[in-house]
């Protein structure tokens, strides 16, 4: 009887857990993290705001296992990571975009070898609107997003989009100007959005620059006629992520877990973590274990907790090999 | 004169030595302190200037070495096919003679050939090499194409693994190691440079015609290849790659299309061909400058996996749509057009694929991009570099909008497009034309390859190419624009971005922020200081002054936070009420003064003790209630029912806006006018006769106020209607100040001005209050005893005396407002726009530095330009304070005698 009750409880737990995790699952091929001895010291991470919470979750999980480790996290924008790595003020440089050649050059000038970028998570860069906005039911093409946010419209949309009426909305939305929220130039999200959604065009000068994605979401949540962009991990109940289509005529793909890995969502990207790794050398235990933690089951579950998508086991193994682990 | 000697006890009249010593010591300390302050401020200036000074450095090219490559091969070369490239470390080079299908790698410092690599099975008819991605693409006589990649790789070996720990190898410089170019790194490793070449399989085209031109664009989703057959048919092949990350499965969508190019007969084959943007437009260019821009409507996906679509037969080909047709030379500015037509000798496309650069026989290097005028895109000439010799070769940089140009007279130049600066100029060969110029990948080397096979290499220091005073302070024609503009958009996540360092929007934003904060803060602070020091009961004053000074202790971060999260959303829903309250509340205060005057004497005397409380408890709430009630009414009557859409320019005339803007000025004018009018003798006697007829002076005074009020309203309405009739609308863009009123944005300067006022009011108040208190009481007593009212005493005696202090109070407030960073950073959207509109935001120099400095690489041009912005702020504040101090001294000498 006791065993029966226990197994019922266990079954219920598994059901609940699986329902909760049914949407996003960590690849079963990724191993669990195994603790080692002799890990202590200080780690500092300077870089992406998009990955700020993620780094905090990893730091929390890591310090729980190794209480002698102190981790400091600063997330002012991806562009702050290369100068910090070059100067040696940070051991990790999370970036939501890959490094530019000029940044790699500067690093190489100092150390003689290029920095190593590890792909730690997958993000779907979302376009946020207020929860009352009817455009979220239909979706936007990348060309329309381009016309909303940029001055050059290099994506090819014929006209400038200034009001919600220009997108076909009617009623009280018809003549309201679109209020634009975005990130500042230090952000990797800014650079990625400019490259892929604005087709390398320029932002309108009226895009309000916010220091972090949470301020973008907060701005959109408090302003009915606003639109903004940021990592999907910052989605709250007050805003909606708009489905995006890669081109007119292609289907609108919503930013939900079922489309994260198929390659259909046009603004899916990797979230990188850059480290200073001398080719052929061995990493010090502190950084080695942190990287191992990032690519372990616990680390990738933290990714899911933050609202992003975990990498596959194949990618995890590739990345670990990049820094000479296992 | 009393000659009596008075005997008194002798007292020492000497000062004690300790006192003298203390005197000297304290004087010394204070002097050191004072000089120290001056030194510290100058040091700040010197530091800023030292970081900014390298911006003005010129670039330079210094001779490095000269070798011979390909002796005697002159007859085989054709400039479109030969190419020469070097790796990032100037160790390994490759050059190719593609009519021999090979590339040859060589040891760069000596020219010694190393390895040979076969690229193509047949001799290519046409060939392109993309320096950014390393992709080579060739078109052949039988209509097929082949792509591949040539990249330089670095292999790292630990010195400890080599024989004798690598001690035999030279520590500096590049050397040959086991037949490969190698060099040592700072970290004790050996870096070996290698070339890796991957060629794809040739792809057959539909037509068996030679492919005479070819180009390729690598989009994030996959490549597009376009080729031009000899029978004037363009083929397109677009590959979209989607990777399913979970399964690792790759789906390839291949779309192929053949289109007929509507070329005028007799023109022949074009000489240059480029795919623009993301491959949606094709650009064909002939030597005489004629060009054709075609729309390559990419076909709808067929969803096949790697196969080929059934191709159409030549009879059924659709014609490509011509977007633009013309001659490049006719687009040049009038002064640069030639009588006898020049010929285009070389054309390249810059990184980002938005700009084309052409060089011609008269030595002009011109850049062209597509600019939008209205709804259409047209080709525009953006920059022009003139030289006296024919252009033979142009190579664009892969990092920035920099060009290396080779000329027929053997000279070579390195130029940067946006700032139109010539960074370096060298005479490579004294009397031999440069066949091909070389630019090292990191833009740190310049080389020239002459006709005879001599190759000379120079190390290039580009200095700070993006900087020039013209680029920072004048409007520039940026890529993608049709007109010159002031833009600040300094960086991005990609290399192909054109940094835009226009400082004018930032300076404009700083002035706008200062203006609105002073507009709100100065009148309130000064009037508050005058009221509390002259009219308020001393007990109350002792309690209010500390309260106001406590306002200064509010951290500006908190103020910015409040502005952005609490006040901005609140104001957004109540804009007409807030605007009305700006007029209503001062008006009710005014009105209550006149009303109290009309009271019977006894009430008046009793109430004079409670002046302050009456104002606070009756006038202020009345004003607020009036504006709450009147707000919707104002919106309905003046703004056609919707203020925000009026501001957006969607409906109505400009007169309501003019009325509100001009009303304060009109009120001042009205007061002055009525004052003058009542001085006119016959009116004065009439008024006095009224007073005799039992009309109290208070009533007359109120009548005067009513008259001036009516007058000002009428004048304001009249002027706004007249401006309307002329067609001047405050929502239109004026030359220097942009729009006076415009679209409403939640984070606007009204809200920010209100809160920056919070920050500067306590400062101005304190200093003004002290200045007013320092006026000797004897002056006040004298004026009052001569029969002046407290108001007359204040305005005509106290304020002129305290003018220097009041002025310096305002100047210190100004200094604080100019430098305020946190409130602006958090409460505006940091939008670099140039509009005086109070309903949208701005970007100040200080907030810009705060936002961008953490991401600027130390020592880069961006970093130094931010320091230049800091220096500009420093100079502005310094100048304003100096002028203010001079003025203050002048005011002081006037009141010094008192």
All structural domains of chain B: 203-329 (no CATH), 332-346+357-434+461-485 (no CATH), 509-575+731-837+845-897 (1.10.3720.10)
Minimum-distance CB partner of B746 among A111, A223, A279: A223
Please, which pLDDT band fits residue B184 given cuts at 50, 70 and 90?
Answer: confident
Burial B781-810 (b: 16+ CB within 10 A, else e): eebeeeebeeeebbeebbbebbbbbbbbbb
Please, which pLDDT band fits residue B801 given cuts at 50, 70 and 90?
Answer: confident
Return the pLDDT at B896. 64
Residues B252-275 have pLDDT tens digits of: 888 888 888 877 766 788 889 999
Q: What is the mean pLDDT of chain B?
A: 85
Mutate to test the interface with B, among A48, A93, A96, A263 (most CBs of B within 10 A): A263
Return the pLDDT at A4. 61
pLDDT over 70 (residue A214): yes
d(CA B260, CA B314): 9
Minimal CA–CA distance to B299: which of B243, B339, B239, B245?
B239
Minimum-distance CB partner of A207 among B156, B251, B831: B831
Contacts with B132 from chain A: Cβ below 8 Å: none
Instruction: Give the number of other CB atoms < 10 A from CB of residue B455.
Output: 24
Return the pLDDT at B302. 37
- Is B249 an interface residue toward A (CB < 8 Å)? no
Return the pLDDT at A73. 95
Q: Which two tokens stand for residue B733?
A: 């863009």
Return the pLDDT at B143. 85
Please, which pLDDT band fits residue B310 given cuts at 50, 70 and 90?
Answer: very low
Return the pLDDT at A8. 60
Return the pLDDT at A3. 64
Please, which pLDDT band fits residue B435 given cuts at 50, 70 and 90?
Answer: confident
Name residues whose C-beta falls within 8 Å of residue A34's C-beta, 6 or more positions apart in sequence.
none
Instruction: Answer positive or negative: Cα dihedral of B554, B560, B562, B563.
Output: positive
pLDDT over 90 (residue B697): no
3-state DSSP helix/strand/coil percent for chain B, to nearest 5? 40, 25, 30
Smallest CA–CA distance, residue B793 to chain A, in Å, is: 50
Please, which pLDDT band fits residue A23 given cuts at 50, 70 and 90?
Answer: low
**The pairing of beta strand A140-141 with beta strand B126-129:** unpaired
- Is A195 an interface residue toward B (CB < 8 Å)? yes
Return the pLDDT at B399. 86
Smallest CA–CA distance, residue B270 to chain A, in Å, is: 26
Return the pLDDT at B80. 44
Which region among B223-227, B405-409, B524-528 has the lowest average model confidence (pLDDT)? B223-227
Smallest CA–CA distance, residue A155 to chain B, in Å, is: 8
Q: Rounded to 5 degrees, what are φ and ψ at A142?
A: -60, -35
| Alpha-helical regions (H) of B246-372 | none
d(CA B580, CA B630): 7
Minimal CA–CA distance to A51: which of A318, A217, A232, A239?
A232
Contacts with A208 from chain B: Cβ below 8 Å: 745, 747, 828-831, 841
Q: Which two tokens stand for residue B95?
A: 């050059």
pLDDT over 90 (residue B375): no
Radius of gyration from C-alpha coordinates of chain A: 21
Task: Specify whether the CB–CB gap between B209 and B194 falls below 8 A.
Answer: no
Q: Does the interface predicted TM-score (ipTM) exceed 0.95?
A: no
Q: Which two tokens stand for residue B706?
A: 């009513």
Please, which pLDDT band fits residue A200 given cuts at 50, 70 and 90?
Answer: confident
Please, which pLDDT band fits residue B367 given cuts at 50, 70 and 90?
Answer: very high
Return the pLDDT at B853. 86
Strand segments, DSSP code E, in B417-514 are 421-427, 434-439, 445-450, 454-461, 488-489, 500-501
Q: Note whether A181 contacts B487, CB cutoff 8 Å.
A: no
d(CA B88, CA A105): 9
Q: Note whether A186 contacts B158, CB cutoff 8 Å.
A: no
Higher per-residue pLDDT: B322 or A277 = A277
What does the pLDDT average to over B787-805?
90
Q: Note whether A83 contacts B158, CB cutoff 8 Å.
A: no
Q: A121: nearest CA in chain B?
A: B245
Please, which pLDDT band fits residue B232 given cuts at 50, 70 and 90?
Answer: confident
Q: Note whether A113 contacts B156, CB cutoff 8 Å.
A: yes
Higher per-residue pLDDT: B759 or B99 = B759
Q: Rounded to 5 degrees, what are φ and ψ at A314?
A: -60, -45
What does the pLDDT average to over B816-825?
90
Name residues whose C-beta falls within 8 Å of residue B108's C-beta, 6 or more positions apart in sequence.
B86, B87, B90, B91, B92, B93, B174, B181, B457
Minimum-distance CB partner of B245 among A177, A184, A261: A261
Residues A29-85 have pLDDT tens digits of: 899 999 998 888 999 999 998 899 999 999 999 999 999 999 999 988 898 899 899
Residue with tokens 């789906």, as numbered in its chain: B251
What does the pLDDT average to over A295-317?
91
pLDDT over 60 (residue B74): no
Name residues whose C-beta falls within 8 Å of residue B622's C-beta, 6 or more positions apart in sequence.
B588, B592
- pTM flag (> 0.90): no
- Is B132 an interface residue toward A (CB < 8 Å)? no
Contacts with B832 from chain A: Cβ below 8 Å: 205
Higher per-residue pLDDT: B79 or B336 = B336
Which region among B335-344, B501-510, B584-593, B678-687 has the lowest average model confidence (pLDDT)? B335-344
Please, which pLDDT band fits residue A22 given cuts at 50, 70 and 90?
Answer: very low
What does the pLDDT average to over B641-661?
85
In this prediction, what percent of chain B has a pLDDT beyond 70?
93
Return the pLDDT at B307. 41
Return the pLDDT at B300. 37
- Is B833 an interface residue toward A (CB < 8 Å)? yes
Return the pLDDT at A18. 46
Higher per-residue pLDDT: B348 or A264 = B348
- Is A75 an interface residue toward B (CB < 8 Å)? no
- Is A23 an interface residue toward B (CB < 8 Å)? no
- For chain B positions 70-109, those within 8 Å of chain A (CB to CB) are 88
Strand segments, DSSP code E, in B410-482 are 411-416, 421-427, 434-439, 445-450, 454-461
Q: Note whether A185 contacts B856, CB cutoff 8 Å.
A: no
Contacts with A280 from chain B: Cβ below 8 Å: 156-158, 189
- For chain A positions 31-60, those within 8 Å of chain B (CB to CB) are none
Contacts with A153 from chain B: Cβ below 8 Å: 372
Residues A158-198 have pLDDT tens digits of: 889 999 999 999 888 988 899 999 998 888 889 899 988 99
Instruction: Give the number of other CB atoms < 10 A from CB of residue B219.
Output: 16
Please, which pLDDT band fits residue B1 given cuts at 50, 70 and 90?
Answer: low
Minimum-distance CB partner of B747 among A97, A113, A208: A208
- Is A99 an interface residue toward B (CB < 8 Å)? no
Q: What is the mean pLDDT of chain A?
A: 88
Smallest CA–CA distance, residue A275 to chain B, in Å, is: 16
Q: A312: nearest CA in chain B?
A: B246
């Amino acid at each position: 009887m006791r065993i029966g009750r226990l197994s019922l409880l266990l079954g219920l737990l598994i059901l609940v857990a699986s329902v909760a995790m049914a949407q996003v699952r960590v690849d079963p091929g990724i191993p669990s993290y195994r603790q080692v001895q002799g890990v202590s010291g200080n780690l500092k991470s300077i870089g992406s705001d998009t990955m700020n919470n993620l780094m905090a979750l990893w730091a929390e999980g890591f310090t729980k296992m190794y209480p002698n480790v102190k981790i400091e996290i600063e997330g002012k924008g991806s562009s702050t990571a290369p100068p910090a790595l070059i100067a040696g003020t940070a051991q990790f440089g999370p970036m939501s975009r890959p490094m530019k050649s000029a940044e790699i050059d500067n690093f190489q000038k100092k150390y003689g070898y290029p920095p190593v970028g590890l792909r730690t998570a997958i993000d779907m860069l979302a376009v946020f609107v207020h929860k009352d906005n009817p455009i979220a039911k239909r979706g936007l093409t990348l060309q329309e997003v381009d016309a909303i946010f940029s001055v050059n419209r290099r994506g090819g949309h014929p006209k400038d989009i200034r009001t919600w009426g220009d997108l076909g909305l009617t009623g009280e939305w018809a003549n309201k100007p679109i209020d634009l929220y975005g990130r500042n130039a230090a952000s990797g999200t800014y650079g990625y959005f400019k490259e892929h959604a604005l087709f390398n065009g320029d932002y309108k000068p009226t895009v309000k620059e916010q220091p972090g994605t949470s301020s973008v979401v907060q701005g959109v949540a408090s302003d009915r006629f606003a639109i903004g962009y940021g990592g999907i991990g910052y989605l709250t109940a007050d805003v909606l992520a708009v489905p995006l289509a890669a081109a007119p005529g292609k289907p609108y793909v919503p930013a939900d877990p079922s489309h994260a890995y198929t390659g259909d969502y046009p603004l899916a990207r990797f979230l990188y973590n850059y480290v200073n790794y001398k080719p052929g050398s061995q990493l010090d235990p502190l950084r080695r274990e942190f990287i191992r933690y990032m690519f372990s089951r616990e680390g990738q579950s933290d990714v899911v907790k933050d609202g992003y998508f975990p990498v596959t086991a194949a990618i995890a193994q590739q990345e670990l090999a990049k820094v000479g682990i296992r | 004169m009393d000659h009596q000697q008075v005997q008194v006890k002798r007292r020492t009249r000497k000062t004690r030595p300790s006192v003298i010593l203390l005197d000297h010591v304290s004087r010394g300390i204070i002097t050191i302190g004072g000089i120290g302050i001056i030194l510290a401020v100058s040091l700040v200036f010197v530091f800023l200037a030292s970081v900014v000074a390298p911006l003005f450095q010129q670039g330079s090219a210094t001779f490095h070495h000269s070798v011979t490559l390909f002796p005697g091969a002159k007859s085989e070369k054709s400039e479109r096919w030969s190419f020469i490239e070097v790796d990032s470390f100037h160790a390994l080079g490759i050059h190719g003679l593609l009519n021999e299908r090979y590339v040859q790698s060589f040891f760069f410092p000596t020219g010694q050939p190393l390895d040979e690599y076969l690229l193509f099975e047949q001799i290519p008819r046409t060939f392109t090499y993309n320096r950014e991605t390393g992709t080579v693409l060739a078109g052949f006589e039988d209509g097929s194409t082949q792509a591949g990649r040539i990249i330089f790789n670095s292999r790292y070996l630990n010195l400890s693994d080599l024989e004798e720990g690598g001690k035999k190898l030279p520590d500096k410089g590049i050397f040959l190691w086991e037949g490969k170019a190698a060099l040592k790194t700072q970290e004790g490793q050996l870096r070996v440079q290698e070339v890796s070449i991957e060629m794809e399989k040739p792809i057959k085209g539909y037509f068996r015609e030679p492919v005479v031109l070819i180009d390729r664009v690598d989009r994030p989703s996959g490549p597009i290849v376009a080729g031009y057959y000899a029978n004037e048919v363009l083929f397109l092949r677009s590959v979209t790659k989607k990777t399913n990350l979970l399964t690792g499965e790759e789906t390839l969508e291949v779309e192929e299309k053949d289109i007929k190019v509507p070329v005028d007969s007799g023109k022949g084959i074009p000489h240059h061909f480029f795919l623009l943007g993301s491959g949606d437009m094709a650009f064909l260019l002939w030597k005489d400058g004629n060009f054709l821009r075609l729309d390559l409507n990419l076909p709808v996906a067929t969803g096949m996996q790697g196969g080929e679509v059934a191709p159409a037969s030549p009879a059924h080909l659709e014609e490509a749509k011509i977007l633009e047709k013309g001659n490049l030379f006719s687009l040049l500015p009038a002064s640069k057009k030639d009588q006898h037509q020049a010929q285009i000798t070389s054309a390249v496309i810059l990184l980002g694929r938005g700009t084309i650069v052409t060089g011609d026989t008269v030595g002009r290097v011109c850049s062209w991009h597509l600019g939008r005028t209205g709804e259409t895109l047209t080709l525009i000439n953006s920059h022009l570099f003139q030289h006296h010799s024919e252009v033979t070769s142009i190579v664009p940089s892969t990092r920035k909008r920099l060009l290396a140009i080779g000329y027929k007279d053997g000279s070579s130049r390195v130029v940067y497009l946006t700032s139109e600066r010539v960074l370096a100029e060298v005479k490579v060969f004294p009397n031999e034309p440069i066949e091909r110029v070389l630019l090292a990948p990191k833009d740190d080397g310049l080389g020239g390859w002459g006709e005879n096979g001599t190759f000379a290499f120079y190390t290039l220091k580009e200095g700070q190419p993006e900087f020039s005073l013209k680029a920072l302070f004048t409007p520039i024609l940026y890529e993608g624009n049709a007109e010159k503009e002031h833009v600040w958009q300094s960086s991005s996540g990609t290399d192909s971005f054109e940094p835009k360092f226009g400082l004018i929007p930032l300076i404009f934003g700083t002035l706008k922020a200062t203006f609105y904060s002073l507009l709100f803060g100065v009148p309130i602070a000064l009037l508050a200081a005058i009221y509390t020091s002259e009219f308020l009961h001393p007990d109350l004053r002792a309690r209010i002054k500390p309260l106001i000074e406590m306002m200064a202790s509010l951290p500006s971060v908190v103020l910015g936070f409040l502005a952005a999260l609490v006040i901005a959303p609140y104001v957004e829903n109540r804009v007409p009420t807030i605007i009305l309250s700006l007029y209503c509340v001062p008006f009710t205060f005014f009105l209550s003064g006149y009303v109290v005057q009309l009271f019977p004497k006894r009430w008046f005397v009793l109430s004079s003790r409670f002046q302050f409380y009456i104002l606070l408890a009756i006038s202020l709430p009345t004003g607020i209630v009036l504006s709450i009630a009147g707000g919707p009414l104002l919106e309905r009557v003046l703004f056609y029912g919707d203020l925000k859409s009026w501001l957006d320019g969607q409906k109505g005339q400009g007169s309501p806006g003019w009325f509100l803007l001009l009303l304060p000025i009109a009120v001042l004018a009205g007061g002055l006018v009525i004052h003058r009018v009542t001085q006119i003798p016959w009116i004065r006697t009439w008024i006095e006769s009224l007073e005799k007829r039992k009309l109290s002076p208070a009533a007359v005074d109120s009548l005067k106020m009513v008259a001036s009020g009516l007058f000002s309203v009428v004048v304001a309405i009249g002027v706004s209607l007249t401006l309307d009739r002329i067609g001047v609308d405050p929502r239109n863009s004026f030359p220097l100040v942009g729009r006076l009123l415009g679209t409403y944005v939640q984070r606007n300067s009204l809200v920010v001005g209100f809160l920056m006022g919070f920050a500067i009011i306590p400062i101005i108040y304190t200093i003004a209050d002290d200045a007013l208190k320092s006026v000797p009481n004897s002056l006040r007593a004298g004026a009052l005893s001569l029969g002046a009212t407290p108001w007359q005493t204040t305005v005509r005696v106290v304020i002129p005396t305290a003018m220097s202090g009041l002025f310096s109070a305002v100047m210190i407030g100004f200094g604080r407002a100019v430098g305020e960073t946190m409130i602006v950073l958090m409460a505006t959207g940091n939008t670099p726009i140039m509009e005086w509109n109070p309903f949208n935001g701005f970007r100040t120099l200080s907030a810009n530095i705060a936002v961008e400095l953490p991401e600027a690489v130390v020592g880069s041009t961006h970093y130094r330009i931010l320091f230049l912005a800091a220096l500009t702020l420093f100079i502005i504040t310094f100048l304003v304070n100096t002028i203010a101090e001079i003025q203050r001294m002048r005011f002081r000498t006037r009141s010094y005698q008192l």
